[in-house]
Structure 1
Amino acid sequence: MDYRDWEILRVLYSQKNLTKAARLLYITQPALTNRLKHMEEELGVKIVTRESRGVHFTAEGEYLVRCADEILEQFNKIKEHVRNMSNHAGNAVAGTLKLGVSNFFANYELPSMLKLFKEQYPHVDFKVVTGWSKDVTKLIHNKDVHIGFVRGDYNSRGLKKHLLLEETVSIASKEPIDLVNLPHLPRIDYSGDVLLKTLIDNWWAENYIQPPFISIEVDQVDTCMKMVMNGLGYGILPSRMLKDTENIYKVDLTHQNGKPILRRTWMYYHKESLEWNVTKAFIQFVESLTGRSK
């Protein structure tokens, strides 16, 4: 079986229909049927059975599809690595970078960063996966992405990291508020990453006996901010969410010693990534923007 065979299995499994799969593969249905027959003869097993609504994969076929995903992914990694080696030898910066990026960073920081980088290196393409920082950390540890942008101090064991920015966490309100009365005031809560929630909960436990009065719960920090701007309550938000807002009062959270509570954003990557010319160029570019590393 060759690369095309594995590709055929994956596409057919996703479509469960010979006609649709053939169309996506740019071959005729008879050619697809013949290729399947050849695979079955080569392996000595039945891969699919035809049904009125399409095709059904046998147990052997299901196993081969799982193998196809692994083989095609490995092939793409090998192809990408070889291209990067070739680019490095020719001192060129070209290829595809896979980035894992926290939701906030993807929305507010990454676009301008990629714009500046593309101006210098127009032959570099990007595949960007967004999500919670804890999930992005897993992606970079598993080498599913080349570089991760993570908000919060997540596990970086075995990784190189570069500090991108530090921000305070602030109580934000449409009207001035007295912190003494905070437990009695309506708070707008939102779903955030685990470390941010822990940071806020620890601060609250250090300063108040009563639990907060949660009047509205939302699933996005952006929604929380809009609720705050409309005077529906206060929110506890990362300060970068508030930098372009007007007529919002904010109070930074502090430790017992008076020092501000800081939330950090990091760039994570594996040391061996620096062997690839395109990855090295991007890492150096990001470091030049912020000037701090660890």
Structure 2
Amino acid sequence: MEERDWLILKVLYEKKNITKTAQSLYISQPTLTKRIQQIEKEFDQPIISRGAKGVQFTPQGEYLVDCADEMLARLRKIKDTVKNMDHEVNGTLQLGVSNYITRHKLPALLKRFREQFPKVKYKVVTGWSRDIFTLAYHHDVHIGIVRGDYQWAGSKELLFEETICIASKEKIALNDLPQLPRIQYETDATLKTLIDNWWTGTFTEPPLIEMEVDKADTCKEMIVNGLGYGILPSVLVDDQPDLYRVDIKNEQGQPLKRKTWMLYHNESLEMKVVKEFVEFMRKLDIKNDL
């Protein structure tokens, strides 16, 4: 089977429709049908059937679909390895990046890297840090950029660290927090645990949650408009000098800090594009330069 055959199976399984699959892959329906027939001939098994609900896959077809991602990833790795045997840095750099870094840092970061290595292509996956960690662990991306501390046996680089702060429109007293309206936002499990542990170690009563939002950026806007206070990484409110903010501290009086790491496997450095990106990141002050 050719690379396009695996891609056909993957897309057809998602679309469940010959016409939509052909349009998505920019090929004609007769060509698509012929390729499917060729696959069935190669394995001497039917892989699809057509009915009122569209294209349905046989058990043999579903098995081949399950293999598609693995085969496409393997072919991509082979291509990248061959390309990186040349002196020129090219190929596809696969990155897994946490949501905050994606929104606030990644575009400028990749712009700078592309200026040095214009032939590099990118495949970027974004999400919560715990999900990016999993992708990096399973070699689904070359490099993972995560916020928070994770047990990692491979190589890692500390990119920057930030304090966790209480932010509000007006000055507030720490002892009054349990009685004041707090804006809660959805965040990564490591940060939530850090904040929750600080709260339970400081107060005997739960916080007064009067608003829940989906993102830290939304929480910041609510704070700016005086709708309550929030507990969030200080880097998110660095652009709001008029807000009252105070770093939260541990029992030893040291500010609680959250670290951002770059994770990768040593064998990935055999690819020039990965090695160059790691070196690029080592020289960059991602917190202040972007």
1:150 alignment counterpart: 146
State the distance in 2 between where 1:47 and 1:184 align: 63
AA aligned to 1:32 is L
* Local SS of the residue matching 1:176: coil
1:6 alignment counterpart: 6
Aligned-residue CA RMSD in angstroms? 1.9
1:246 alignment counterpart: 241
Indicate yes or no: 2:180 matched with 1:185. yes
Indicate yes or no: 2:55 matched with 1:59. no
Indicate yes or no: 2:229 matched with 1:224. no
Identity rate, percent = 53
Deviation of 1:143 after TM superposition, in Å, equals 0.7
Deviation of 1:177 after TM superposition, in Å, equals 0.5
State the distance in 1 between where 2:244 and 2:163 align: 14
Question: How many positions carry a matched residue from both structures?
Answer: 286
The runs of at least 4 aligned residues of structure 1 exceeding 6 Å deviation read none
2:113 alignment counterpart: 117
* Local SS of the residue matching 1:284: helix
* Local SS of the residue matching 1:204: helix
1:255-294 to 2 correspondences below 5 Å: 255-290=250-285
State the distance in 1 between where 2:49 and 2:189 align: 46
State the distance in 2 between where 1:41 and 1:274 align: 41
State the distance in 2 between where 1:31 and 1:255 align: 65
Deviation of 1:239 after TM superposition, in Å, equals 0.3
* Local SS of the residue matching 1:228: helix
Q: Flag the 1:66–1:200 CA change in 2: closer, same or farther, 3 A.
A: same
1:134 counterpart (122, 130, 137): 130
Q: Flag the 1:273–1:215 CA change in 2: closer, same or farther, 3 A.
A: same
Q: Flag the 1:44–1:133 CA change in 2: closer, same or farther, 3 A.
A: same
Deviation of 1:53 after TM superposition, in Å, equals 5.4
AA aligned to 2:80 is E
The Cα offsets for residues 7-66 of structure 1, whole Å up to 9 and x where unpaired, read as: 333333333333333444454433433333333233222222232554322222222222
State the distance in 1 between where 2:281 and 2:37 align: 51
Q: TM-score, normalised by structure 1?
A: 0.91
* Local SS of the residue matching 2:49: strand
Contact kept, 8 Å, 1:137 with 1:155, in 2: the verdict is no
Unpaired segments ≥5 residues, structure 1: none
Q: Flag the 1:7–1:107 CA change in 2: closer, same or farther, 3 A.
A: closer
State the distance in 2 between where 1:117 and 1:42 align: 44
* Local SS of the residue matching 1:255: coil
AA aligned to 2:251 is Q
Contact kept, 8 Å, 1:172 with 1:234, in 2: the verdict is yes
1:170 alignment counterpart: 165
Deviation of 1:249 after TM superposition, in Å, equals 0.3
2:101 counterpart (105, 127, 132): 105
Q: Flag the 1:109–1:29 CA change in 2: closer, same or farther, 3 A.
A: closer
Decide which moves more: 14-23 or 236-245. 14-23
Q: TM-score, normalised by structure 2?
A: 0.92
Q: Flag the 1:277–1:213 CA change in 2: closer, same or farther, 3 A.
A: same
Contact kept, 8 Å, 1:16 with 1:56, in 2: the verdict is yes
State the distance in 2 between where 1:100 and 1:167 align: 21
